[in-house]
């Protein structure tokens, strides 16, 4: 049981490039989400999904796309990277009902130059 797995761990992008952060969980969790954490700040919700085929926007969705074709995978796509998207990205999952423990992946450090 690996939990929540994110790849890559580190990435440097040039402005305008696109890329996908991968996230997979093996706990059969219905709920998955992506957060970003800027230096010295708390986590902010980008997008989330309550089940396969269903996604919705969080607090800071602009510049990002997501899809949820399977229960296990929830990739985050940066469409045209900007320096403002330099951040640490955390994927998370939890069982479907409210008030359950949320499990975070180890994080992906992204730098846009």
Partner 1 sequence: GENVEQHPSTLSVQEGDSAVIKCTYSDSASNYFPWYKQELGKRPQLIIDIRSNVGEKKDQRIAVTLNKTAKHFSLHITETQPEDSAVYFCAVEAAGNKLTFGGGTRVLVKP
Closer of 52 and 102 to partner 1 (Cβ): 102
| β-pairing verdict for 103-104 and 108-112 | unpaired
With contacts defined by CB under 8 A, name the span among 12-20, 65-73, 77-85, 105-113 that binds partner 1.
105-113
Distance between CA atoms of 111 and 90, rounded to whole angstroms? 14
Q: Is 69 exposed, middle or buried (0-12, 13-18, 19+ CB in 10 A)?
A: exposed
Is 63 a binding residue for partner 1 by CB under 8 A? The answer is no
Residue 61 within binding range of partner 1, rule CB under 8 A: no
| Chain residues that interact with partner 1, rule: CB under 8 A | 31, 33, 35, 40-45, 48, 50, 58-59, 90, 94, 98-102, 104-107
């Amino acid at each position: 049981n690996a939990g929540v797995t994110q790849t890559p761990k580190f990435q440097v992008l040039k402005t305008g490039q696109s890329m996908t952060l991968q996230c997979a969980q093996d706990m059969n969790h219905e709920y998955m989400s992506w957060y970003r954490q800027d230096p010295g700040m708390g986590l902010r919700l980008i997008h989330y999904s309550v089940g396969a085929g269903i996604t919705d926007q969080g607090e800071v969705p602009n510049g990002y796309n997501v899809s949820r074709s399977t229960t296990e995978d929830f990739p985050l796509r940066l469409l045209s990277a900007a320096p403002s998207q330099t951040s640490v990205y955390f994927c998370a999952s939890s069982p479907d009902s409210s008030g359950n423990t949320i499990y975070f992946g180890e994080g992906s450090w992204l730098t846009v130059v």
